[in-house]
Structure 1
């Protein structure tokens, strides 16, 4: 890896103080308004989720990785986008106290938009369609000719990604109308919808699709060709997606199993009576 190339960039470009200040400010606001104020019930796990999300946000948007992703390696850019969508976003939603989410999302102007666009199948099509279109070479190469188009497209990805994860995580009890089976099937659907761009376009097809990175990949890593860089990007896309969905699937199945056990326990309690110390099992209704 030719790290000397990065010496041509200033410290401000490599370690964006603006991004760092924004992340620190976000963390301080969260701690003061959520934890110190005692207006919301916040667990230690939620606090941990927020700080991990903040750390990853700075890594992908404020560290030298951002320069590498923008200027040298397509695979680094894929990691940046996937970390933002599959690590930062779900952790941010998990860090939300229920009352805060209810106040600013469900009982606010965003409620209607979340109801419409946050429907599982609508959110799945929007998110996976937008992410697939983003990496289609024709669109990707046009988008990355303009900083404005790049910013708008990534903000749209974050918006659709938020809706997709909102459906899976369901942070509010009153909107938890979809069964665990539906949510598990939804995860499998999302994984399948990204297969074409993740496997066929980036891994199987061995030709250069992103000329903006064609010359820079070898400059940064001498043994790395543009095709290998592209294929590595495809591998990272699927790996991060599947690990993130796998963790979500594990917790959904775990909670599903616990709920079923609680229901069985309630049924058993309804059919048990204790009379003078004698346990009587009544016939099930």
Structure 2
């Protein structure tokens, strides 16, 4: 496989130096402006999240895998998008401390726009709807006839994925979002949203992408166009469900810690002071 790629593509095409430089610059800025800044307190886990996200992006965009995903295998392209939207984006959001988001995102210039763009149910519909539309064969074939159009579509999907994960993670407590129970419901609904398109590719027995026909079997001889499409459907659902399962576990753990912290504490709204004596009111009698 590697021999075939080297014979048909230049080294620069296989190993994209511009992406390496770009991610190195991003990593340097993160270290100088965030990790080393006295304004923020960055945990080890946040550093690990950022490192994993950058390594994944390098593997997906700056190695021969990008050529395979772009020109040869629909399943590789689906894996590339799935890892970016369902793994890299939440890791990047988690890698920045709350004060960073509070300073640069939640201010008087961005509050209004963020409240609209990151509206929970709007993001649920837009991201999953656009991703489903993108994977419809007729739309996919048209989009990939033009490199610029393909790039624009993927940028739009990337931005919408950020807003969807923003709702799930809710990195800034000041932003009025969903409570823990509704966030769990949100994740459940999001996991169902891509089920139809994923199931469609798993069961189909017809090749829908003529662009891959001339190079069928060039990378993996046993992988026909139909098998490639079926693999793509499985990859999409497995990656999505795995990332949402971790997100649900993360939310439930935070919810559990919050409830533990409340144990033994008396809510201020149930307290009345009468001549220096503290009176605890029964909620049913208030």
Same fold (TM over 0.5): yes
Instruction: Output the TM-score relative to the length of structure 2.
Output: 0.90
**Higher deviation after alignment, 5-14 or 145-154:** 5-14
Aligned residue number for residue 51 of structure 1: 51
- Mapped pair 1:73 → 2:73: yes
Tell me the distance in 1 between the aligned counterparts of 2:59 and 2:41: 29
Partner of 1:101: 101
1:157 aligns to 2:157 (yes or no): yes
Cα offsets for 1:113-140 (capped at 9, x unmatched)? 2211211100000000110011111110
Q: CA deviation at 1:83?
A: 0.8
Equivalent residues in 2 for 1:1-285, closer than 5 Å: 2-8=1-7, 9-107=9-107, 109-199=109-199, 201-267=200-266, 285=282
Cα pair 1:93 1:171 within 8 Å, conserved:
yes
- Decide whether the 8 Å contact of 1:73 with 1:216 is kept in 2: no
For structure 2, the 5+ residue unaligned runs are: 271-278
212-221 or 144-153, which deviates more: 212-221
CA distance in 2, matches of 1:108, 1:70: 41
Residue in 2 aligned with 1:274?
Answer: none
Deviations 1:54-109 (A, max 9, x none): 11111111111000001111000001101110111001100112121122212164
Q: Distance in 2 between matches of 1:80 and 1:112?
A: 33
Count of paired positions:
273
Give CA deviations for 1:115-173 in whole Å, capped at 9, x if unaligned.
Answer: 11211100000000110011111110010011110110000000100000000000011
C-alpha RMSD of matched pairs (Å): 2.0
Q: 2: CA distance between counterparts of 1:86 and 1:217?
A: 28
Question: What is the alpha-carbon distance in structure 2 between the residues aligned to residue 195 and residue 168 of structure 1?
Answer: 19
Q: Work out the CA distance in 1 between the residues paired with 2:41 and 2:192.
A: 37
SS in 2 for 1:96: coil
CA distance in 2, matches of 1:30, 1:263: 35
CA-to-partner distance for each residue in 1:28-79, whole Å, 9 max, x for gaps? 1000011112221211111111111111111111111000001111000001
- Note the C-alpha offset of 1:18: 0.4
Contact 1:82–1:241 (Cα < 8 Å) also in 2:
yes
Select between 202-211 and 144-153 the one with higher mean Cα deviation: 202-211
- 1:279 maps to none
Deviation at 1:111, TM superposition (A): 2.8
Aligned residues of 1:215 and 1:226 also touching (Cα < 8 A): no
User: TM-score, normalized by length of structure 1?
Assistant: 0.91
User: Is residue 40–residue 97 contact of structure 1 (8 Å, CA) maintained in 2?
Assistant: yes
* Structure 1 residue 10: Cα displacement: 1.6
